[in-house]
Amino acid sequence: MRAVLVLLALVAVPASASLADQELQANPIRKVVTMLQAMEKKVAAEGEKEKELFDKFMCYCKNAGGTLGKAISDAEAKVPAVTSDIEEGEAQLKQDKEDLKQAQTDRASAKAAMAEATTIREKEAADFAKEKSELETNIAAMTSATQAIESGMAGGFLQTSNAQFLKKFVTNKEDMNDFDRQEIVSFLSGEANGEYAPKSGEITGILKEMTDTMSKSLADAEAAEAASITSFDELMAAKTKEVNALTRTIEAKTVRIGELSVEIVQMKEDLDDTSKALLEDKKFLKDMDKNCATKTAEHEANMKIRGEELVALADTIKILNDDDALELFKKTLPGAAASSFVQMQVSKAKQQARALEKLTQAKSKALRPSAGLDFIALALKGKKVDFGKVIKMIDDMVAVLKKEQLDDNDKKEYCAKQFDFADDKKKGLIRTVSDLETTIDKSEEGIKTTTDEIKALEAGIKDLDKSVAEATEQRKEENEDFTELMASDSAAKELLGFAKNRLNKFYNPKLYKAPPTTPAPELAEISAHSFVAPPPPPATAEAYSKKSEESNGVIAMIDLLVKDLDKEMTEAKTTEADSQADYETAMKDAAEKRALDTKTLTDKEAAKAQMESDLETAKEEKGATTKELMATEAYISSLHGECDWLLQYFDVRKEARDGEIDSLKNAKAVLSGADFSLLQVKGNSLRR
């Protein structure tokens, strides 16, 4: 009906005035050409933007591929190298442990040799002291006797203790001939008044000879003692040096074993990390090659389609700018003012076009597809009981005491090392507990943050789904409007065509088309009945003069209205196609964003689950480490219970044990026949 009313309004305007106004208006085809040129520029700009993005993506593919390839190559070379280093480290660790055990055995042997040498040296020194004391006592007694006889004081000498000692000595001396012994004993047994007077010269001669012999024996014994001391000192120096060297070796090996053990663990961790990274890099490279190839294919396809579109646009512009076409359009589309009621919405369309242009610029500057922009666009388009036996027992006891001392020494060394080890372990465990507490805090914070991110993602997906539903409903409404418009315009065109045909029947019979044999649509029938030609004039009336000129103007207006309806239908189809394409793009972008957000949500939930697992593991490890720390502290406490008494009374025990050993040796000497009477007392006096 709207079309009919417009038609009637046009009929009411004089033809001459309409033609004059058309001549004053711009040709509407220029608007079409301008739109095509804008489309051409937009397609070209999008092509340049896509090419720029594609070039950056390909640069990424090339550079990332090279870097990743080098990382994979380095990892493939590193894995066997680290594996070899681990095998060498474990072999070295095994050798170091064997060397440590051998060094400890050698050091124990060296200390045992030193203890044995010291025992022998002590025995030799004791024997020498005893021999020296006896020789010096004998020499002194004989020298005193010789001097007394030579000075005529023999009677006085016989009253001294030295004379009694000399008498006893000569009596017991086995290597002296009986004559000499008898002479001296007779001399020493004489009365003080001198009734017995053997030859004094013989006596002094015997005494001097014995003195010389014992002096020589004393000198020999002193030389032997000096030589023995020198040998002992040299042996002890060598053994001390050996023990010190072995101790340094033990300490160095102990440190090296610890360091090497740590290095092996670190290398194993490095090997594990490198192996995992290698697998990940290979997988990523494979996926990247596939993605790059896909992008290349997509880009080539897009460039081909865009090229075809540009050619089509250029050809269309050329056609529309052709002189003959322009001339034709001047005739068929005389002016913007006469392009019917559709032109009344030009101002609103321009506002939408400008807004869409700005939106398109915003989308072209976006780094990735944005469903939000798409929805706005849609909104704009509409979005451990005999003496022999006793002596053996003493020897056994001495051996036991020495072994106990050795055990105490070893125990003392063991305690010192274990205290150091336990203290170091305790400090390490304390640090580990602290680190685990930090890890737990970070994990809890990470879980909280991830939980918030998951909530945000879930909300975003929900909002996106809502937007998709709204856009779908909007698209549905727009499609319904389009369908209704197309139906209405088609009906209007049919009606206008019927009207034109009817006019031609009268004014231009040659252009008249007879109606089809099938009944015309009801609307057409109604329209036909509404425009039935008047009956012919009576035969007798004056010849009727047809208003051909006016009818031509009306028919032209009808043609113009038909073109306007065709244009409106074409624009509606284009708008519908563009809206549908934009809707499909928005749905695709929304689907990609939803898939990306869903994947991110899944990754976040997996990360959260991993963090919760790591948190639980950290808590369990903290609990286990805390228990180990408590066990270590209990061990340190047990070490104090085991070692403190020994360490506190070590010197007292050693001194007491040494005194016990000396007592046992003295007991053994007594059981072996030693005389600890006057001689021993004198000997001790001389030593003091």
**Does residue 212 have a pLDDT over 80?**
yes
Round to whole Å and give the CA distance between 106 and 152: 68
First to last CA, the chain: 152
**Does residue 247 have a pLDDT over 50?**
yes
Q: What is the pLDDT of residues 256-281, one digit of tens each?
A: 887 888 788 888 888 888 888 888 87
Contact 37, 349 (CB under 8 A): no
Q: Domains of the chain: which residue ranges?
A: 351-383+385-408+437-516+550-688
Give DSSP secondary structure letters for 537-567.
PPTTSPPP---HHHHHHHHHHHHHHHHHHHH
How many degrees, rounded to 5, is the angle at CA 397 between CA 395 and CA 402?
A: 95
- 358 or 597, greater pLDDT: 597
Residue 528 pLDDT class (50, 70, 90 cuts): very low
What pLDDT is recorded for position 434? 92
Say what angle helices 522-530 and 387-507 make with each other, to 10 degrees: 30
What pLDDT is recorded for position 377? 58
Round to whole Å and give the CA distance between 107 and 168: 51
**Does residue 451 have a pLDDT over 90?**
yes
Round to whole Å and give the CA distance between 450 and 665: 81
Contact 611, 443 (CB under 8 A): yes
Listed in sequence order, the DSSP H helices in 322-386 are 323-332, 346-365, 371-380
Give domain 351-383+385-408+437-516+550-688's CATH number out of 3.90.70, 1.10.287, 2.40.160, 3.40.390.
1.10.287
Say what angle helices 2-12 and 548-671 make with each other, to 10 degrees: 140
Round to whole Å and give the CA distance between 121 and 530: 153
Q: What is the pLDDT of residues 143-200, one digit of tens each?
A: 877 776 666 555 556 666 666 677 677 776 766 766 777 777 777 666 434 444 445 6
Round to whole Å and give the CA distance between 206 and 135: 16
Closest of 456, 454, 457 to residue 611, by C-alpha? 454
- 345 or 575, greater pLDDT: 575
Q: What is the pLDDT of residues 463-500, one digit of tens each?
A: 989 999 999 999 899 899 989 998 988 888 888 888 77
Q: What is the pLDDT of residues 342-391, one digit of tens each?
A: 444 444 455 445 555 654 654 454 444 645 446 555 655 654 445 566 56
How much of the chain, in percent, has pLDDT values that exceed 70?
69
Mean pLDDT over all residues of the chain? Answer: 75
How much of the chain, in percent, has pLDDT values that exceed 90?
11
Work out the burial of residue 461: count CB atoms within 10 Å of its CB; fewer than 13 is exposed, 13-18 middle, 19 or more buried: middle
**Does residue 680 have a pLDDT over 50?**
no
Round to whole Å and give the CA distance between 636 and 287: 56
